[in-house]
Structure 1
Amino acid sequence: MLVAQISDIHASPDSPSLLAFERAIDWLKAFRPDALVLTGDLVDDGWQRGYRQIAESLQALDFPTYLLPGNGDDQSVMRAELAEVGKWAGTSGSMHFQAALNDATLVGVDVTVAGQSHGDIRPHLSWLKSRLADVATPFLLFMHQPPFGIGIEVLDQVGCRNADALLELLNAGGRPPLGILCGHVHRPVSSRVGLIALQTCGSLCPPNPLLLRDQADLAVLDASSFLVHEVRNDRLLSHVVSMQTLARA
């Protein structure tokens, strides 16, 4: 099973990121994954037209799409403009989703905190526990802010809080997720906690610099990118798709 993940478009009237999104969608139309997940920060400053253009692009796909908000999204505008393609668990409140596909289950938890850049999983643990009780297949857990450090201090300060409580819940269930898949940091980063793979998706807006320890703030060479995840024999393989390799159809 193939699941594409796009994150952090940050569409605005003055940025080229919507064009990058359209190029990625053109590529996915030909690639034909089983599903597409968007892990937040679709639009800056509640730009209604941006949400509308994203919705129009997603409506042209013939495979399902699932959406999470990021800390930069206006959730009320996002709900209104993406109502035709958003498959959220409820019509109000947190914008979680769950989808049972052929070979795996996709679970998305909205960990955003109103008015804050960081996320927090604790208010949503009971919802997650109840949903996982009925999951009989391997599953992937999607969030916006990652619940693990990536080694870039300024970004780790605005990650998802209460990660220990999340890992306790996931390990207690007997079937941990194949991966926790996030956005927010504008860089592809991979790690592991026990049996659980941890992965952040690159962004369609300019990537963040690699500010590790006392390294200098060097110019960014990274291309905008997204991910394609493959679930094969109860294993997760995650592939980076660089926007430099995409040709406009």
Structure 2
Amino acid sequence: MLVAQISDIHARPDLSSLQTLERAIGWLRTFRPDVLVITGDLVDDGWRQGYRLVAESLRSLDCPVHLLPGNGDDAQLMRSELAAVGTWINATGPMHFRTAVNSLTLLGVDVTVADQSYGDVLPHLPWLMNSLADVTAPSLLFMHQPPFSIGIGVLDQVGCSNGSALLSTLEAMDRLPLAILCGHVHRPAFGRLGIIPAQTCGSLCPPNPLLLEGRADLSVIDAPSFLVHEVSDGRLVSHVVSVPVPDSGA
């Protein structure tokens, strides 16, 4: 079972991130994952045409696509322009999703807070608890903002609040998710929430610098990237896939 995850496209009129998305989608068309999940921040500044262009690109895939909003998304525009691509539990309100693909349950929790960069999972724990109550197969939990510290102060300040309450809710379930898979920080990072593996996906826009422990703000050498998750026999292995940036002089 192969689950692709793309995050933080941040499409804008200069088309640079959309071109990166096209290269990623072209790779995925050949790779043929079983499902694609996009974990938020598709478009900058409510750019309606950007949502339409993202939808057009995603429709070229043969696999199901599921989407969460990020703090930079316009939820109403995203719903209307990507209605033919993604499906959500509710027609209004939080854009959660739940689906099963090849005996793997995928749950997306919309933890965004209106007009804020941080997220908060606390209001959505009743929905999550109810959605997990009958899940006995392996599951993956998707969010935009990560509920664990990645060690970069400016980004941890705008992570997902109430991670400890999320952990308590998950520990009360019969089976823990294989991982919590997020976006938002524009670089891949790998940690844990309790004993649950937790990861952030790289971005298709320029990655953020690695500002760990007061180190200098060095030039970013990372390429845009996304993740491919392989689930087999109830185990998860995640792979970073880099998207080369074309030579501007070509």
Please state which band the TM-score falls in when normalised by the shorter chain: over 0.9
Distance of 1:44 and 1:109 partners within structure 2: 21
After TM superposition, list the pairs within 5 Å mapping 1:57-72 onto structure 2: 57-72=57-72
CA contact (8 A) 1:108 1:142 kept: yes
Query: Contact (CA 8 Å) 1:3, 1:230: kept in 2 or not?
Result: yes
Question: Matched residue of 1:244: which SS?
Answer: coil
The question of whether the paired residues in 1 share the 8 Å contact of 2:223 and 2:245 is answered with no
Equivalent position amino acid for 1:45 in 2: D
Q: Distance in 1 between matches of 2:147 and 2:236?
A: 19
C-alpha distance in structure 1 between counterparts of 2:17 and 2:240, whole Å: 18
What residue number does 2:95 align with? Answer: 95
Matching of residues 1-249 of structure 1 within 5 Å: 1-244=1-244
Provide the TM-score with structure 1 as the length reference: 0.97
- What is the CA–CA distance in structure 2 between the aligned matches of 1:209 and 1:170, rounded to whole Å? 32
Change over 3 Å in CA distance of 1:4–1:231 after alignment to 2: same
* Structure-1 separation of matches of 2:60 and 2:219: 36
**What is the aligned-residue identity percentage?**
67
How has the CA–CA distance of structure 1 residues 28 and 245 changed in structure 2, closer, same or farther, with 3 Å as cutoff?
farther
**Matched letter for residue 79 of structure 1:** R
Q: CA deviation at 1:227?
A: 0.2
Residue aligned with 1:62, SS: coil
SS state at 2:103 partner: coil
What's the CA shift string for 1:177-228, capped at 9, x where partnerless?
A: 1000000000100012343111100000000000001100001000000000
Question: In 2, are the aligned partners of 1:103 and 1:231 still within 8 Å (CA)?
Answer: no
Distance 1:103 1:68 in 2: 21
Q: Deviations over 1:39-79 (max 9, x none)?
A: 00000001011100111111121110000000000001000
Contact 1:112 1:119 in 2 (8 A): yes
**What residue identity is the alignment partner of 2:13?**
P
Unpaired segments ≥5 residues, structure 2: none
State whether residues 176 and 195 of structure 1, in contact with CA within 8 Å, keep that contact through their aligned partners in structure 2. Answer: no
Tell me the SS of whatever aligns to 2:187.
Answer: coil
Is the 1:69–1:75 contact (alpha carbons within 8 Å) kept by the matching residues of 2? Answer: yes
Aligned residues: 246
Aligned partners of 1:25 and 1:15: how far apart in 2?
A: 15
Q: Any gaps of 5 or more consecutive residues in structure 1?
A: none
Q: 4+ runs of 1 displaced by more than 2 Å?
A: 192-195
Change over 3 Å in CA distance of 1:194–1:118 after alignment to 2: closer
Q: Which amino acid aligns with 1:10?
A: H
The 2-side partners of 1:208 and 1:130 are apart by 36
Q: CA deviation at 1:101?
A: 1.1
Task: Give the TM-score normalised by the residue count of structure 2.
Answer: 0.96
Task: Tell me by how many angstroms 1:233 deviates.
Answer: 1.4
Residue range with higher mean Cα deviation, 35-44 or 14-23: 14-23
- Match of 2:27, SS state, is helix
The letter of the residue matching 1:209 is P
2:244 match: secondary structure: helix
Letter matched to residue 150 of structure 2: I
